[in-house]
Each structure stands twice: as C-alpha cells, then as structure tokens.
Amino acid sequence: EGKALKVSENIKQDDTELTFKWKKFFEYLYPYLLQLLIALSSAMVVAVLNIWIPQKVGNVINVLTKILSSKEHNAVKNVLSQLTEPAFALARMYVAQALFTFAYIYMLSHVGERIAMNLRQDLFKSIIMQDIAFFDKNRSGEIVSRLTSDIQDFKSTFKICISQGLRSTTQIIGCIVSVMGISPQLTAAVTLSLPTIILIGFGIGLFQGGTNIFLNGILLCTLYFGGHLLSTGQLSPGELMAFLMATQTIQKSLSQLSLLFGSYVKGISAGARVFEYLEMPPSPMMVSGEIITDQSLAGNITFKDVKFSYPTRPEHVILKNFNLHIPAGKTVAIVGASGNGKSTIAALLERFYDVNNGSITIDGKDLKSLNASYLRGNVLGYIDQEPILFATNIMENIRYGKPDATNEDVIEAAKEANAHEFIMKFSSNYNTQVGERGAQLSGGQKQRIAIARALLKRPSILILDEATSALDYESERIVQNALDDVTQGRTVLVIAHRLSTIKNADIIVVLQRGVIAEMGTHTELIKKKGLYYTLVNEQDKENV
C-alpha cells in the first residue's frame, strides 16, 4: 500500500508539472492576433453560408416542383424566369463559401506555422542552454520528439480546434434555429424520436453500427413525418429538402466536435510537454561567469584534490583526490584501461560537468568562475575520435567552430590542419557537400576538417580525445602529422588509446581506478617497468 501511494503521488506530481501554460501560449499567439481574427471571421462567414445554403436549395426545389406540376407552356416560361434569381443566389453563395474557406484555411495555416516555428526555435535554444547532465538524464529520442512530433501535434490541434470547432458550433446553433423556423412540428417530431433511436444504437453494442442507426433513424423520421406534412400541405418540397440538409449539417458538425475532443486532449498534452522544456531555466554555467575580453588565457592547468562522480551515478566515484598540473605550452597524455576516468578529465576541463570537490584552474582562474560558452568558444579546442559533420559544404562545417569567421579565416585554418590540399582536389573545393555525418569523406579527411574547425577559434588549449584511434594506419599518420604541427606552442591534453602516438608527450599520466598510478616521460616510465610498461607490451603483442 505504501508503494502504491508513493507511485500515485508521483503520478499526481507529474500531472501537476505537465500543465498547459495558457499564458505562455498567448504570448506566442499575440503577434498574430490580426491574422487570427481574419481567420475566425472567415470561418464564421463560412458557417453562416452553410446555414443559408439549405434554404436557397429549398427555394430552387420549390421552383422546379412548380415546373413539373405546370402543364401550360406560358406557365413553364414564367417559372423558368423565376428560377434564375434563386439559382444565381445559390451560385454566389457557393463561390463566397469557397473564397472564405480558402481565406480562413490560409490564415490559420500561416498563424499555426509561424507559432510552430517560433516554438521550435525557442525550444531548441532552451535545450542547448542546458548542461550535459540534462542530456544524460533525458533520452535523445524524447528530446527530439519534443522538437518535432509534439510541436507538430500541437500545431495541428490548434488549427483544427479553432477552424472546425468554431465552424461546427456556429453551424449547430444556426441550423437548429433554421429547422425550427422551417417546421416546428417536424423539428419536435424528430427530437422526440431521438431517445428511441439512441436506445436502439446502445442495444446493438457496436459503435459504428450504433452510429449508422442513429443517423439513418434521423433520416427516416424526417422523411416519414416530413412526408406526412408534405401530403397535408403544411410543408413544401423545398422546405423538406432544406430541413434534410440542415439536419445533415447538424449531424456532421456534431461528429466533428466529438472527434475534436480527442485531438484537443492530444494537442494540449503535446503543448504541455513543449512548454515544460521551454520554461526550463538555462544552466547557470552557460549564462553566468567571467568572460575575458582583453587577453587570452595561456593554458596553465591545475587539477587540485578533484573528486567527481556523474550525476546519473552519484554513488560511483570516477576520480578520487585527483591532482595534476599541466604547464602552459606542454603536451600531457592521459593513458589507462577503459573506465578509469580518461575521458572524464577531458569532460571536466570542457566544463561539461562541475567537480564535486576540489577545483580546476586555468592560469589561476577557477573553472567555475568562467562562462562555459566563452570557455568552449575561445579557450578550448576539442577533437573527438568521431567528428560530427553536418550535411552541408566543407566551408560551413569548418565555420561551425567560429560562426563569425570569414572565408579567409576558414581557409587559413584548413591549411594549418593539412586539409587545404585535399579540399582543393574536389571539383567544388570548399563548396563540396560532405553528406550526412560526412559520409562523402574518408575518416582522415573528416578528422582534418574537425581539426580545422577547432583551430578556427585560435584556442590556447587543445583536447585530443583519442583523435586517431578510429583511423587506419595511413590516415592516422597523416592526421598525426597535422596534430604535431598544430600543437606547437599550445597546451595539449591527449586522451590516448594507441600508446605509440604519445611517445613524444612531455608528460604521460597513467590512470588506474580514478587515481594517478604513474607519471613521467615515455622513457622514464618504460624504465620503471610498471603499469605503463605493461600496457605498451600488451599493445605491441596485439599489433603483432
């Protein structure tokens, strides 16, 4: 019982959180209020025309009835002349109905698409201003769903509920008044027969069958009682036709309203999920902290008594009292078996996460005091083993490193990364499309574009997270040559898998279970014949 109560409380809490924010919605709707009013007015006109059209059809039927019942030649001519006015009036109504239908659909589509676009842009901004812990806790599929299907569902519901809801309600009220005006007796007879028809429908027990009996029952009642009134002269053929059309309009409008309820619930739920993410406050590290505008940090890095565990696994400590000094302009390689915290060190330096205890400083400035966006955009250059390239040209893929960079800056960065030569061999040069995730390029080419992207912002510190581990020997050699050139004069942190690539590092740090087991140059560590020596021998055997 206690567990059930706790689950129930959690469900209530979730329901409370996922409430539709009407005030927020009206903020998005307000700029398009004029277009919305035009759409609503047009929908009202269409609804009124749908009420009047049955009456005009009835007038035409009455004239045609006179033609059929008349036997005199002159009488027929007179009646035909009488048919012109109601027929043209009906035609004008149909034309007006088409024009106003186009107007309200166009305006509603315009308003809906603009609101959806603004929602999607603001939602994307809200999401990218969260810290990495947010993405660890939330599945990527759910985040993408909020950006795509939830906004699409909300937009569709907005358009359908406003257009069909308003039109159907107006038509129901108007047609009820219309049928009462045509024949109060027939209206009363059909209304009194409805309970019996509904009971028959429930007795069948099938929704579709019950619906058909309900609709056909109304038609039969109208024809039966209408035929009786027609035979006694209390109702004309045109009035009977107008009554039938009006009741069908009521039936269709009621059906649409019943379907709208499901759409409304679906749309409101989707909107609530969208607004939940929209109202998330940005991560403090993204909007606060120091931005150094007058100087560039040299890159003197110190990890002091750092303790860290990931937010999703707080009980599992990754780094324990970790201490490391990386002098400015030096290359430090972090090695060790998988799961010992190598990539965690890179993530902490990028400030994807903040340490639980201790501190990380760059040139004496605590990382927590620096703005994370500034840090990643100006101080740090990050190169992963699998670079993310977008389905656009090479120029724009490199420019993602610094969006305001000129074409000349991009070309210069490509030259430094040894990418300019192979780019110029393409027929479109820098305008060459790389395909989704760089599918048109080799692994080495993608990696050199990633290096150029990182160099574009002129970082003081380069982080190479197993940058060559996914490449073949020839590609690795080319990329490694490019890396050797660009690391000169910069502070470099290398997360190494292939130990052969870090022999020339100034300092090699061997991690084991979150602490430093060994530290020194390649030659010093080999002489010790400790953990590093064992790792090198194991890799040499694998290569053989």
- Dist CA 447 CA 13 (whole Å): 47
Tell me the pLDDT band of 208, cut-offs 50, 70 and 90: very low
- The closest alpha carbon to 178, from 278, 347, 36, 54, belongs to 54
CATH 3.40.50.300 intervals, the chain:
301-390+460-543
CATH number of this structure's domain 301-390+460-543, picked from the four choices 3.30.590.10, 3.30.70.20, 2.102.10.10, 3.40.50.300 = 3.40.50.300
Burial of residue 536 (number of CB atoms within 10 Å: 0-12, 13-18, 19+): middle
Mean pLDDT confidence for 373-402: 85
Superfamily of domain 22-281: ABC transporter type 1, transmembrane domain (1.20.1560.10)
What is the pLDDT at residue 286? 77
Tell me the pLDDT band of 382, cut-offs 50, 70 and 90: confident
Contact predicate 299/476, CB 8 Å: no
Contact predicate 346/495, CB 8 Å: yes
Mean pLDDT confidence for 446-472: 80
CA 284 vs CA 19, 139, 290, 351, 424: distances in Å: 25, 22, 12, 12, 43
pTM reported for the whole predicted model: 0.72
Tokens 């009682």 appear where?
225
Q: Tell me the torsion sign for CA atoms 174, 175, 177, 178.
A: positive
What integer best gives the mean pLDDT of the chain? 80
CATH 1.20.1560.10 intervals, the chain:
22-281
329-363 pLDDT per residue, tens:
888 888 887 778 888 888 888 888 888 899 999 88
128-143 pLDDT per residue, tens:
888 888 888 888 888 8
- Planar angle of CA 202, 204, 207, nearest 5 degrees: 70
Own/partner contacts of 198-201, CB < 8 Å, gap of 24 or more, are none
Contact predicate 26/115, CB 8 Å: no
Annotate 491-509 with three-state secondary structure.
EEEEECCCHHHHCCCCEEE
N-term to C-term CA, the chain: 63
Q: How many CB atoms lie within 10 A of CB 457?
A: 17
Strand partners, 214: none
- Is the confidence at residue 372, as pLDDT, over 70? yes
